[in-house]
Amino acid sequence: MKGMHSKWAALTAGMILMTAVFTGSAFGAEPVKGKVMIYSSIYLHIIEQLKPVLKQKFPDLDVQWFYGGSEKVIAKLVAEFEQGTSKADLIMIADPAYYNTLKRGGKLLQYKSPNAKHVLPAWLDKEGYYSGVRINVIGIAYNKNLVAAKDLPKTWWDLADPKWRGKVGMPNPLLSGTAFAGTAGLVRSPKHGWPFFEALRKNRIACEPGNGAVETKLLSGQLAVAMLLEENVLKAMGEKKPLGFVYPSDGPVVNPSGIAIMKTTQNALAAKAVYDFFLSKDGQKAILNGWMHSVRPDMPAPPNAIMKIGEISKFALPMDWEAISREPEKVKEKFDQTVLR
């Protein structure tokens, strides 16, 4: 009987420990509950996919979202800072440079996630204030019904070819974080610079509010070629829509969209748990399902992608996010004068 009692006690203790591990209450740790607010530029259809995944992972946590393009989210944050504090617990926007701005301003909570060891060092802040969470690739999209194989643009400069006059587009970098990243990368490139955008202006480039608007005009035939996110094209390809994608030989833009915890969060425990989740394999699977590349080298490429992010990065434009973060308004003002006016 004594042996049976000991075995039962051991089994019970094991069950309690397992329960504690899965509920986050081991050794007195608090369970993940309450509310967290995420400010994000991730597409709404991807947020809708994420909601049930997060609910299953954190059943007692109310995860709320504020959605908008990166520049809209940034404007909201700036307005809230002027009023005193932000309502955001986490931010997930597509402008990598802005994380450096927030870090310099003391707005971010330093947190080194245990899952950060699985993330490529290039996508991590060394001091632990933010991490890449999804990789956007910016290249050239085209309508397969309008562009013959022999006419495919192979470089960024090909978009300035007169044959695309009035049929070339891009998202507006004054409104879109990824468009700003693409613009900043090309402006800083010795092969491109502002002469490239002056040439696009002469080619009557259409600047649309965001990547979604550019995709719509490509599909309608109003545009034939455009600067666009790879993920838009991968999704369209999965839906059998006539879009194709080119990685420009003179350098696609690889954009590590980040995740960070606000220093003023009222629920740091839950914010850290959600942060950890997004860097986990399960969290990164959700990113892949949104047709974006993972920040983890142990994950595959997204559906329909021709290349993995490691291959793309080998010939991508070099990006100095710290330098870019110190002159965003200068770049936007120059773009406005060069292209929009």
The answer, as to whether pTM is greater than 0.85, is yes
Identify the pLDDT of residue 337: 98
pLDDT above 50 for 9: no
Please compute the mean of the pLDDT values over residues 243-251 and round it to a whole number.
98
Confidence of residue 20 (pLDDT cuts 50, 70, 90): very low
Of 30-34, 151-155, 243-247, least confident by mean pLDDT is 30-34
Confidence of residue 3 (pLDDT cuts 50, 70, 90): very low
For the chain, list the domains and their CATH numbers: 29-135+255-312 (3.40.190.10), 137-254+315-340 (3.40.190.10)
Please compute the mean of the pLDDT values over residues 191-201 and round it to a whole number.
98
Render pLDDT for 111-126 as a digit per residue (tens, 0 to 9). 999 999 999 999 999 9
pLDDT above 80 for 94: yes
- Give the CA-trace dihedral at 187, 189, 190, 192, to 10 degrees: -60
Please compute the mean of the pLDDT values over residues 62-70 and round it to a whole number.
95
CA–CA separation, 308 vs 118, rounded Å? 17
Please compute the mean of the pLDDT values over residues 43-48 and round it to a whole number.
91
Both tokens of residue 64?
């709320």
Identify the pLDDT of residue 147: 98
CA–CA separation, 335 vs 23, rounded Å? 50
Identify the pLDDT of residue 14: 44
Question: Which of 278, 23, 249 is closest to 133 using CA atoms?
Answer: 278
User: Residues near 36 by Cβ (< 8 Å), separated by ≥ 6?
Assistant: 61, 62, 63, 64, 89, 90, 265, 267, 270, 271, 274
Render pLDDT for 114-168 as a digit per residue (tens, 0 to 9). 999 999 999 999 999 999 999 999 999 999 999 999 999 999 999 999 999 999 9
Average pLDDT, the chain: 92
CA–CA separation, 29 vs 27, rounded Å? 6
Identify the pLDDT of residue 30: 76
Confidence of residue 18 (pLDDT cuts 50, 70, 90): very low
Burial of 194 (0-12, 13-18, 19+ CB in 10 A): middle
Identify the pLDDT of residue 29: 61
Identify the pLDDT of residue 105: 97
| Percent of the chain surpassing pLDDT 90 | 89
CA–CA separation, 320 vs 184, rounded Å? 9
Identify the pLDDT of residue 31: 87
CA atoms within a 13 Å half-sphere pointing along the CA-CB vector of 276:
15
pLDDT above 90 for 295: yes
27 or 271: which carries more pLDDT confidence?
A: 271
Identify the pLDDT of residue 11: 42
pLDDT above 60 for 28: no
Please compute the mean of the pLDDT values over residues 246-263 and round it to a whole number.
98
Instruction: Please report where in the chains the tokens 């995420």 appear, as a residue.
Output: 38
